[in-house]
């Protein structure tokens, strides 16, 4: 695509009803030149027909939570039932939103479907998401609602000690709400869901969009129970050991039971299974290929965003048609990048930094 054609596409995306005369005035070229460029764009497939119907690049839809994260960390050892000196920070968060931002920072197109309140927290989230490159056009802002908030306290090892989640707003992600987003969802290359949204809504999505691969973030052991009966309808899942036990009924306490749990999930209908083993690494299987990839020894600055980065890495790998093993390694590289920064999302995460991290830690 030429630079001029790229300029014209930007104008068309901003205003599909713009006339050739207006385009010529904006670009400082003749109307006949505009017509030639548009004809070339049609021939190249960037414009699909009359009315400047533009071809969408492949994009990922993420459906799930967005909230403000308020995080406290102590200066020394965390003392329970006492006031601890430390540092309190506030940032944009939410599992779905975090996954979407990581995907966007990897350079892939991503649209976030979530709900916000019309309050200062909601406005901050909207601004931060737009600044990060997330397409927020399918997000709904409710006028008389409070934006979801997640309050967490870290211990001296930078691991979460306790948290309180105020997530009532996600109950508004109903089946009717999702029906209203059909035009966005139906053209997605991949759908990523987190379990913050209601169970009946998740079931509606997996039933209505079974022709599109759907990746699941189970979020927590309690929320994993929501999807236990429909787990086989997801293309890819990434539970930890406890969540895998809930989904399979198998106690995962050694390699044999780990492999058995993966086999049960595949037999239920899941295409790709990634089971997080915590500090011991990741186990993956698709019923044919399987492997345990150990975690390299690294310094952890903040552990809260590793899982979100891992799912984002899997999603990016799907767009690039990586094999199940290559997706696991790329996702592990993404999680290591996330672990190395004080923020939940490392602002420096990118395809380049991930691949460099993979090489440095010998997980290529």
94: left (phi over 0), alpha (psi -120 to 50) or beta: left
Residue 264's domain spans which residues?
Answer: 59-66+95-148+170-360
Co-location of 129 and 24 in the same domain = no
Q: Which residues contact 324 (CB under 8 A, 6 or more apart)?
A: 272, 284, 285, 286, 289
Co-location of 136 and 12 in the same domain = no
Q: Has residue 129 got a pLDDT over 90?
A: yes
Question: What is the average per-residue pLDDT within 189-207?
Answer: 97
Q: What is the CATH number of the domain that holds 233?
A: 3.40.1190.20
Number of domains present in the structure of the chain = 2
109: left (phi over 0), alpha (psi -120 to 50) or beta: beta
97-112 pLDDT, tens digit per residue, is 999 999 999 999 999 9
CB 102 within 8 Å of CB 95 = no
Co-location of 22 and 111 in the same domain = no
Co-location of 102 and 38 in the same domain = no
Co-location of 255 and 143 in the same domain = yes
Q: What is the pLDDT of residue 15?
A: 80
Co-location of 133 and 206 in the same domain = yes
86 within a domain of the structure (yes/no): no
SS3 149: strand
71 within a domain of the structure (yes/no): no
Question: What is the average per-residue pLDDT within 184-205?
Answer: 96
Instruction: Report the share of the chain in percent with pLDDT over 90.
Output: 77
- CA-to-CA dists, residue 152 to 100, 160, 164, 304, angstroms: 21, 7, 6, 10
Q: Which residues contact 313 (CB under 8 A, 6 or more apart)?
A: 102, 106, 327, 330, 331, 332, 333, 334, 335, 354
Co-location of 256 and 114 in the same domain = yes
Q: What is the C-alpha separation between 313 and 327, in angstroms, rounded?
A: 7
The DSSP output letter for 100 is H
Q: Has residue 85 got a pLDDT over 90?
A: yes
Q: What is the pLDDT of residue 40?
A: 85
228 within a domain of the structure (yes/no): yes
Binning the chain into helix, strand and coil, the percentages to the nearest 5 are 45, 20, 35
Query: CA angle, 206 as apex, 200 and 212 as ends, to 5°?
Result: 155
Across 287-317, b (16+ Cβ under 10 Å) vs e yields: eeebeebebeeeeeebbbbbbbbbbbbbbbb
Q: What is the C-alpha separation between 234 and 244, in angstroms, rounded?
A: 14
SS3 144: coil
195 within a domain of the structure (yes/no): yes
Co-location of 38 and 107 in the same domain = no
14 within a domain of the structure (yes/no): yes
10-23 pLDDT, tens digit per residue, is 888 778 778 888 89
Co-location of 186 and 259 in the same domain = yes
CB 52 within 8 Å of CB 12 = yes
22 within a domain of the structure (yes/no): yes
Please identify which residue in the block is written with the tokens 């006492």: 82
Q: Has residue 119 got a pLDDT over 90?
A: yes
Co-location of 100 and 30 in the same domain = no
Residue 129, H or E segment: helix 120-132
Co-location of 39 and 109 in the same domain = no
Count other C-beta atoms under 10 Å from residue 102's C-beta: 31
197 within a domain of the structure (yes/no): yes
Co-location of 198 and 306 in the same domain = yes
Q: What is the pLDDT of residue 54?
A: 63
Please identify which residue in the block is written with the tokens 């996600």: 170
For the chain, the average pLDDT equals 93
163 within a domain of the structure (yes/no): no
């Amino acid at each position: 695509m030429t630079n001029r054609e790229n300029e014209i596409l930007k104008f068309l995306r901003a205003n599909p009803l713009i006339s050739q005369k207006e385009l010529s005035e904006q670009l400082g070229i003749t109307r006949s030149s505009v017509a030639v460029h548009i004809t070339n764009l049609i021939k190249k497939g960037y414009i699909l027909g009359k009315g400047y119907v533009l071809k969408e690049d492949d994009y990922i839809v993420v459906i799930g939570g967005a909230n403000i994260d308020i995080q406290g960390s102590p200066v020394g050892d965390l003392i329970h039932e006492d006031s601890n000196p430390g540092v309190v920070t506030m940032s944009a968060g939410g599992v779905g939103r975090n996954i979407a931002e990581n995907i966007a920072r990897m350079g892939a197109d991503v649209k976030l479907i979530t709900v916000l309140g019309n309050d200062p927290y909601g406005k901050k989230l909207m601004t931060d998401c737009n600044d990060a490159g997330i397409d927020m056009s399918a997000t709904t802002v409710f006028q008389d609602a409070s934006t979801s908030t997640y309050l967490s306290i870290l211990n001296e090892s930078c691991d979460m000690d306790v948290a309180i989640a105020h997530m009532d707003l996600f109950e508004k992600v109903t089946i009717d709400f999702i029906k209203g987003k059909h035009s966005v969802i139906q053209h997605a290359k991949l759908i990523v869901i987190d379990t913050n949204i209601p169970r009946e809504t998740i079931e509606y999505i997996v039933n209505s969009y079974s022709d599109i691969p759907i990746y699941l973030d189970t979020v927590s052991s309690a929320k994993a129970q929501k999807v236990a009966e429909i787990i086989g309808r997801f293309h890819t899942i990434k539970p930890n050991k406890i969540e895998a036990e809930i989904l399979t009924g198998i106690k995962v306490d050694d390699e044999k039971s780990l492999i058995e749990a993966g086999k049960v999930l595949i037999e239920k209908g899941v295409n790709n299974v990634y089971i997080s083993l915590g500090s011991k690494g990741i186990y993956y299987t698709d019923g044919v290929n399987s492997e345990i990839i150990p975690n390299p020894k690294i310094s952890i600055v903040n552990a809260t965003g590793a899982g979100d980065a891992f799912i984002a890495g899997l999603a990016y790998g799907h767009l690039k048609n990586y094999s199940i093993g290559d997706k696991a390694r790329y996702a592990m590289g993404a999680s290591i990048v996330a672990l190395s920064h004080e923020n939940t999302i490392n602002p420096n995460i990118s395809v380049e930094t991930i691949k460099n991290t993979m090489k440095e830690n010998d997980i290529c």
